[in-house]
Structure formats: C-alpha cells, structure tokens
C-alpha cells in the first residue's frame, strides 16, 4: 500500500497495463505470454541502475502486541529527504524503496537518510522499526484492507497457515539491479542471481525465533515462504537444462496457479480450484478469459527468490538492522554484476 505519491523506481518497464475485467472470449495465448515476458520483463537496459527495498517490523513501543496504524506511518513519512517510496504491508511492515540510482552506494545512502528521518518521526508517535525477518511474537492481525489482500488471504487459507504468516509477519531486504545492455548480460545476471541467492540467505539469516521460541532455523522467514505455495515461491531457474531466462519465466508463470481474478478495482475473487494460468488461457473461467492486464497482475502474485520485473529483484535476504542491510545490499550487487559494471558498483560503494 503506497503511503506517498508514486516516485520513479527501478522497474518502470515492468508490465503495467490498465485494470480491466476479464475478456468474454479468448484473447491471450501462451505465445503472447512469452512475447510479453521477453519485451517487458527481460528487456536489456544499459543504464546500470540499482535499487534497494528495506522492510522493518513496525512496533508500538508502549505495547508491542498492538498494531501500528498506517495513518501514523504515512504522517511520519510525509517528508522524506532522499525521495524513497514509503509503503505499508498487510501486517504493518514498513518498507522504503529507493529511487533507481547509478550504483549501490547512492541507493544505500538514500535509504539510510530516509530511514533516519522516518525513525525519528515515528519515535515521536511511540513507534519503533525493528529489522528482523520474522516477528518472533504472536500472530499479527492484518492492518490493511483491500480487495487484493482479502483475496490473497482467502487463497492462502485454503492451502496452509503459512500464507497469513508470510503476509503479516515477515520482512526482507530486496536488492534490484538492471539486466544489462544485451540479452546475454540479462541471462548471465539472471543465473548468477539464482546462484548467489542461497549464499546471501545464509550469510544474512536473521529470523531464528518463531512464536517466542527458537525455531530450529536461522532464517525462519525463508522457511515460511517455502511452505506457502511452491508453484509461486520456488526458484524459476531450477537447473533443469533450460538456459533461456525468458522461457524459464514464461514456463513458471504459465504453470503457477491463479491466485485471484480481478473483476473490478474493488472486487477480487480468489481462485481455489487449482487452475493454472495456462489452464485459464486454454479453458477460460466462469468469470471470463485472461487479458494482458490479468497476466500483469498474475506476475505480481509470484514470489520466487529472483523475480524479473524489467530488472532483477533479489528476495532472499532477511530484514536486518541499520548496520547490516547496506553490507548485504552491496554484496548482492557485487556478486551479480560483472566486468566494468561490477567494478563501477564497488567503486561507488566505497565512496
């Protein structure tokens, strides 16, 4: 949920089409999905931009069991000096997303400046921000009501309890990098991001507690995400011999189950019968046939460790405190980039 006016951020090339109701007849094919993924999710970009998204658990300091109202967060974040975008997640998690910037150093600096301003303002309201991958306390209530979140929760409730935990109680650091100037660069960075994801998850695991007790995991957050829905949280590059990232992401999207169908801005209907997006294309649904807008929304309901959105979004790092998340972000970028781009990112990080 956006709490500020939309600001430019890494990913403006991602699928963005107007919300429409499903079509009354077939209008989309698997070939169309491949074309749109190629054109909009993996289009090479030479700009060398980097973005960082940092989440925290928002806590009422007087009584941590009480939820924090998003109106309080919005008021506190009304004036952010470095232009980050402020969002509020279903369970009250607070996220700052940097503008797309040249180099990881400037991206981290912008988040740090805005996080300092937001933390100080929230303290005046009796709210603290905690950098943990999973709330170690009792289950959090959902603080944001929207048709999308209601449909997501209905979908998850039909499958496993981990869905509510994922939506309401987890927080992460996400690092975004451009794909590079050529398709070969995009493919290399795609596969490298998958290769380094487990290392980043292990190095920066920060969610060992669950329900007030040791969970047996260093990153219980990742365990929760893995338990949610394998067809939308497993890695898209699975080492099955397919090297083409466009084909891998297309196949992944087609095989994933449809979470909900949006009938209007104010009405999302959860799909509980296991229909995949490929089946929706081929057989339709009583609510209609999928359009490009439905594909765009479907892609936003997929949460693998690496997600292509006109850039690469790396999602394996637990939320961290202010001394650690810049280190994690810099390591992620330096390990995915190569050649001159990698050297430039490292130089900017050291300035």
Alpha-carbon distances of 149 from 90, 146, 213, 259, rounded to whole Å: 7, 5, 28, 11
Query: Which pLDDT tens digit goes with each residue over 242-252?
Result: 689 999 999 99
Residues 54, 98: Cα–Cα separation, whole Å = 9
Q: Where residue 322 falls among pLDDT bands split at 50, 70, 90?
A: very high
Tokens of 49: 């931009």
Architecture of domain 30-349: 2-Layer Sandwich (3.30)
Q: Where residue 351 falls among pLDDT bands split at 50, 70, 90?
A: low
Residues 86, 77: Cα–Cα separation, whole Å = 7
Region 3-7: what's the mean pLDDT?
37
Residues 311, 324: Cα–Cα separation, whole Å = 24
Q: What φ, ψ does residue 60 adopt, rounded to 5°?
A: -75, 115
Question: Residue 342 above 80 pLDDT?
Answer: no
The pLDDT, as a whole number, for residue 57 is 96
Burial of 104 (0-12, 13-18, 19+ CB in 10 A): buried
Query: Which pLDDT tens digit goes with each residue over 48-87?
Result: 899 999 999 999 999 988 888 888 899 988 889 999 999 9
Buried b (16+ CB within 10 A) or exposed e, 181-209: eebebbbbbbbbbbebbeebbebbbbbbb
The pLDDT, as a whole number, for residue 179 is 94
Neighbours of 124 (CB within 10 A): 10
Model-level pTM greater than 0.75? yes
């Amino acid at each position: 949920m956006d709490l500020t006016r939309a600001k430019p951020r890494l990913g403006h090339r991602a699928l963005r089409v107007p919300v429409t109701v499903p079509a009354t007849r077939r209008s989309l094919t698997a070939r169309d999905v491949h074309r749109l993924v190629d054109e909009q999710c993996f289009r090479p970009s030479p700009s060398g931009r980097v973005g960082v998204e940092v989440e925290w658990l928002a806590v009422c300091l007087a009584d941590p069991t009480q939820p924090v109202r998003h109106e309080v967060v919005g008021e506190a974040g009304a004036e952010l000096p470095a232009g980050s975008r402020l969002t509020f997640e279903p369970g009250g998690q607070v996220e700052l997303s940097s503008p797309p910037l040249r180099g990881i150093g400037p991206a981290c600096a912008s988040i740090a400046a805005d996080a300092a301003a937001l933390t100080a303002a929230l303290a005046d309201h009796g709210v603290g921000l905690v950098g943990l991958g999973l709330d170690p306390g009792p289950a959090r209530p959902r603080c944001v009501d929207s048709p999308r979140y209601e449909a997501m929760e209905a979908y998850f409730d039909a499958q496993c309890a981990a869905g509510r935990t994922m939506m309401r109680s987890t927080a992460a650091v996400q690092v975004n990098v451009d794909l590079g100037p050529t398709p070969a660069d995009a493919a290399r960075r795609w596969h490298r991001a998958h290769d380094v994801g487990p290392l980043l998850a292990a190095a920066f695991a920060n969610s060992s507690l669950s329900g007030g007790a040791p969970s047996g995991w260093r990153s219980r957050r990742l365990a929760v995400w893995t338990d949610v829905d394998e067809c939308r949280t497993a890695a898209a590059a699975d080492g099955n011999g397919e090297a083409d990232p466009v084909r891998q992401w297309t196949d992944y999207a087609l095989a994933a189950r449809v979470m909900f169908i949006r009938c209007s801005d104010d009405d999302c209907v959860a799909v509980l019968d296991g229909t995949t997006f490929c089946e929706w294309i081929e057989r339709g649904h009583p609510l209609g046939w999928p359009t490009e807008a439905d594909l765009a929304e479907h892609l936003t309901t997929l949460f693998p460790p690496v997600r292509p959105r006109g850039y690469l979004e790396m999602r394996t790092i637990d939320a961290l405190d202010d001394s650690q998340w810049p280190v994690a972000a810099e390591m992620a970028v330096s390990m995915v980039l190569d050649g001159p781009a990698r050297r430039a990112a490292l130089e900017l990080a050291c300035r």
